[in-house]
Amino acid sequence: MKKLTLFIVSDSVGETADLVAKAAASQFRQGLEAVSMKRFSHIEEESQLHEIAYLAKSQEAIIIYTLVKTGMRRKIQEQCEKYGVQCIDLLGPVVDRIGANLGELPLEEPGLVRQLDDDYFRKIEAIEFAVKYDDGRDPRGILKADIVLVGVSRTSKTPLSQYLAHKRYKVANVPLVPEVDPPEELFMIDPDKCFGLVISAEKLNFIRKERLIALGLKDDANYAKIERIDNEINHFNQVISKIGCKVINVTNRAVEETANVILSEITNQNR
């Protein structure tokens, strides 16, 4: 069986070239059994390219590379010509064509696609976290969260949690009800990462009545009565006073506006 060696050369991890090489090799009957691959990752110096080309010549290897810097691509091509080594530029032609069509020069920063992938997975993780620790269903999430939202029912805790999750923050939210003691975890966290959401009794009365009607119920249930709402808000104020966290009035405020207040507060804390 004839053997073939491929050198995978990259200024980042080299996963892209590795996957392409494996996909290409799998199209042959001898497949991956006949093709061995050696990966050279995080190549940043031109002197390294000289050594790789020299080694490829001695092993009769083909070099497959993904180098984002024009100078590095030019250098490896020169070295391959010098030693008579076959080489394949996977990234350069695509970058050049996109740049020509956009009328823009590339950033030439290695590893950007990996950063994008990491950013995507952080967002998914944050969204899953917000779902898992929504509505106080598991108090353990309070200690793990980046942000904790506290408020009475219908103060937009859940949509706000999801909005902040899309900004890569892990958010837990906790409803406060006078008949139920708040989880002790609320008093164990840094107050700076906790935000109380308050709303006017009149606005909450209207929202809850609309909610009951939407559910096909009468709007005079205790849940929507002003006396009940005043009782819940008083309980909220007592708990928040004990926690010592910032309170945001969400009356007539869109979720995006409340989120911006929270994000601004967090930014100021980290300065």
Buried (b) or exposed (e) across 94-113, using 16+ Cβ within 10 A? Answer: ebeeeeeeeeeebeeebeee
Q: What is residue 182's DSSP assignment? A: P
What are the tens digits of pLDDT across the range 126-173?
A: 999 999 999 999 999 999 999 999 999 999 999 999 999 999 999 999
pLDDT of residue 254: 94
pLDDT of residue 269: 87
Q: Which of 202, 264, 269 is nearest to 233 (CA)?
A: 202
Which amino acid belongs to residue 156? S
What are the tens digits of pLDDT across the range 197-250?
A: 999 999 999 999 998 999 898 888 899 999 999 999 999 999 999 999 999 999
Exposed / middle / buried, residue 265 (Cβ in 10 Å: 0-12, 13-18, 19+): middle
Measured distance CA(205)–CA(224) in Å, rounded? 5
pLDDT band for position 121 (50/70/90)? confident
Region of 156 on the Ramachandran plot (φ > 0 left; ψ -120 to 50 alpha; else beta): left
pLDDT band for position 117 (50/70/90)? confident
What are the tens digits of pLDDT across the range 30-57?
A: 766 889 999 999 999 999 999 999 999 9
What is the value of pTM for the model shown? 0.64
Integer CA distances (angstroms), 165 to 36, 168, 170, 209, in order: 43, 5, 6, 29
The fold of the 116-269 domain, in CATH, is Rossmann fold (3.40.50)
pLDDT of residue 100: 94
Q: What does CATH list as the number for 4-110? A: 3.40.50.2300
Q: What sections of 84-173 are H helices per DSSP?
A: 92-102, 112-132, 140-144, 157-165
The domain spans of the chain are 4-110, 116-269
Two domains, one topology: 4-110 and 116-269? yes
